[in-house]
Structure 1
Amino acid sequence: MHDRIERVTGATTAIALVAAAVLLAPAFAGFGASLALAVVAVGLTVLAFLAREAIRTLAPVPWLQLHFETVWVGAAVAALVLVAFAGVTPAELQTLGAVVGLLGLFNYLLRPIYLTLGSVLTRVTK
């Protein structure tokens, strides 16, 4: 159970951080959210999905391979945010990117609670 919790929380955190990076990069370049930027994010999603095995091999250690493989999901999340908040200013897009990144970090910080709950559930169900 602990391995599954580690994998899910790690992958979720990686997805949120990639989405934050995809949102923050254009915002710092002075671009607000638009449908054209969402199309670019969808293109990045498709490219990352098609190259996920090649991206996975770039991981320097085996436990990072899952996180490298899920990069495409982060780009897809960023595309959804761009569509949902189309028309916001670059500063507002920076805020959205920061919130997405903070959600990922908050998820990572909750790992001890997830592991404790997993241990309790494992003991109760046995």
Structure 2
Amino acid sequence: MRATVILLTAGLSLVAVGTAGVAASLPLVLASVVLAGVTRVVTDAVEVPATDGVTVRTVATDLWIGPALAAVVLILWLDATPGEVQALGGMVGLVGMLNYFLRPFYHLIYGLGRRLAAL
């Protein structure tokens, strides 16, 4: 679940920037890094009561990695136009959704491995 949240956050930030008409550049990379830092500080300060299952706190602690990943993607494609930045965000988000849809398969493989190890 964490990888899905991280990839979707990175993809959403890239799609938003591309939709705003901003091309990839070093100031945009710096802005993504600053956003990652601010998100990290804010999520550390959030107090959410613990409940069963996936908590808001568990998900929120990983949100800062999304803008950091977006910065890495922008560094790799520093000459991307706004449309290309938007497309890169869509591809990163697509990988996140692929990870989400493959989770049952991951659990199946993990369960089979545990059963084989118990033999």
* Matched residue, 1:11: 2
Aligned length: 117
1:115 counterpart = 2:110: no
Letter of the structure 2 residue corresponding to residue 90 of structure 1:
P
* Matched residue, 2:30: 39
1:64 shift after superposition: 3.0
1:57 shift after superposition: 3.1
> Secondary structure in 1 aligned to 2:74?
helix
* Matched residue, 2:19: 28
Give the root-mean-square deviation of aligned CA atoms. Answer: 2.1
* Matched residue, 1:51: 42
Check whether the contact 1:32–1:90 (CA below 8 A) recurs between aligned residues: yes
> Secondary structure in 1 aligned to 2:65?
helix
1:96 equivalent among 76, 88, 97: 88
* Matched residue, 2:64: 72
- TM-score normalised to structure 2 length: 0.90
> Secondary structure in 2 aligned to 1:71?
coil
For the residues of structure 2 that align with 1:14 and 1:23, how far apart are their CA atoms? 14
CA offset digits 1:10-33 (Å, max 9, x no partner): 000000010011111111010111
1:63 shift after superposition: 2.3
Check whether the contact 2:21–2:82 (CA below 8 A) recurs between aligned residues: yes
- TM-score normalised to structure 1 length: 0.85
**Structure 1: any 5+ residue segments left out of the alignment?**
1-9
Shift of the 111–19 alpha-carbon distance from structure 1 to 2, 3 Å rule, reads same
Letter of the structure 1 residue corresponding to residue 110 of structure 2:
G
* Matched residue, 1:7: none
For the residues of structure 2 that align with 1:32 and 1:59, how far apart are their CA atoms? 40
For the residues of structure 2 that align with 1:20 and 1:58, how far apart are their CA atoms? 28
For the residues of structure 2 that align with 1:58 and 1:36, how far apart are their CA atoms? 37
Identity percentage of aligned residues? 34
